[in-house]
């Protein structure tokens, strides 16, 4: 049994400190229903923050996600996806939409119909240096951060207030401020999920490179709710069960089923930190099926219940004010850091 006070907090701190991120804001969108646009896939993490109204986010192969005012969605690996007021609304490529409705001087996009109004802040994160570890791979394809979550509200509310203040006024430098605030979003999302990954031992470096095994590991991380079996995973990468198990353990240090359990637990821990979801809903999202199974796994691996984990890890949200201040008062793009 692994207790919380044994958590590799230093490893999480070192990984976050080594991650260099350059955020950019594509546009601030004022949209009237019906509306919809497609964002092409790219090797850049994407984010959407709903400032007003509500919308749907849908990526191929994943369940659609409903986002309300104040909710943030991050696509860590930048998959192709659609944003729309309703799932059946017609959609246009984002580039084409911007070409048809040029952004104004403050990079605002205004389009859509005469229906319900939605305001979005959309942008991306480009990693300026190589990652010290496959950090983003540890995140689910879509990370949502809900202001109703006790562990998120302590920091997202003041940051959200700053974003909304900038969105409501036409002031020079707004895009730079938006980008700096977006850095806070990514840092907090990474911390929430890295904490869970560290607790379950997923931060250990791999001993060797094996494309087929890495493909299988990616399938587990991206689709933890599938009823995976050893045979099904081996079949996905064209191996026998024996060969697959041997090579998987050589790369990850774990058996395939043990790795699956760790991924599910780590993602559940992340949801407990970032989403205002019931334990049962989190269990369904991570392949446990029900809260009893998730609770049993938590107590066995971490020595604590999911509810107690959510409450105890909420204390980690406290220092975010310092992070936000550092982000906002740090050097502007192109300027040397203060000494």
Domain residue extents for the chain: 1-19+191-331, 20-190
The pTM for the full model equals 0.75
The torsion defined by the Cα of 230, 232, 234 and 238, in degrees rounded to 10, comes to: 170
Give pLDDT < 70 ranges for the chain. 1-10, 18-23, 105-106, 127-137, 150-156, 170-172, 205-207, 313-339
Tell me which CATH code domain 20-190 carries.
Answer: 2.60.120.280
Residue 204 DSSP symbol: S
Fold match between domain 1-19+191-331 and domain 20-190: no
Q: Distance between CA atoms of 229 and 108, rounded to whole angstroms?
A: 48
268 is written with which tokens?
């559940």
Secondary structure of residue 332 in the 3-state scheme:
coil
To which CATH superfamily is domain 1-19+191-331 assigned? Homeodomain-like (1.10.10.60)
Q: What are φ and ψ of residue 313, in 5° steps?
A: -80, -15
- Helix (H) / strand (E) containing 183: helix 174-200
């Amino acid at each position: 049994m692994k207790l919380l006070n044994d958590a590799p907090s230093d490893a999480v701190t070192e990984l976050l400190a080594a991650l260099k991120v350059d955020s950019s804001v594509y546009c601030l969108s004022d949209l009237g229903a019906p509306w919809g646009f497609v964002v092409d896939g790219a090797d850049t993490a994407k984010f959407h923050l709903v400032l007003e109204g509500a919308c749907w986010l849908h990526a191929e192969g994943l369940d659609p996600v409903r986002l309300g005012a104040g909710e943030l969605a991050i696509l860590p690996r930048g998959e192709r996806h659609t944003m729309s007021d309703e799932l059946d609304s017609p959609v246009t490529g984002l580039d084409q939409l911007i070409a048809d409705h040029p952004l104004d001087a403050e990079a605002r996009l205004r389009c859509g119909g005469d229906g319900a109004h939605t305001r979005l802040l959309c942008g991306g994160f480009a990693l300026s240096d190589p990652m010290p570890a496959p950090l983003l791979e540890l995140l689910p394809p879509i990370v949502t951060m809900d202001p109703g979550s006790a562990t998120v509200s302590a920091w997202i509310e003041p940051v959200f207030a700053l974003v909304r203040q900038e969105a409501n006024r036409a002031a020079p430098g707004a895009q730079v401020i938006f980008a700096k605030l977006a850095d806070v979003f990514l840092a907090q999302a990474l911390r929430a999920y890295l904490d869970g990954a560290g607790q379950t031992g997923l931060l250990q470096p791999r001993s060797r490179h094996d494309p087929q095994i890495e493909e299988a590991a990616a399938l587990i991380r991206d689709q933890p709710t599938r009823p995976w079996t050893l045979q099904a995973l081996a079949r996905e990468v064209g191996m026998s069960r024996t060969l697959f198990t041997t090579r998987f353990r050589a790369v990850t240090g774990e058996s395939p089923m043990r790795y699956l359990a760790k991924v599910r637990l780590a993602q559940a821990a992340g949801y407990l930190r970032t989403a205002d979801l019931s334990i049962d809903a989190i269990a369904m999202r991570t392949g446990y099926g029900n809260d009893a199974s998730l609770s049993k796994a938590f107590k066995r691996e971490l020595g604590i219940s999911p509810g107690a984990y959510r409450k105890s890890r909420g204390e980690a949200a406290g220092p975010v004010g310092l992070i936000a201040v550092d982000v906002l008062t740090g050097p502007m793009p192109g300027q040397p850091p203060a000494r």
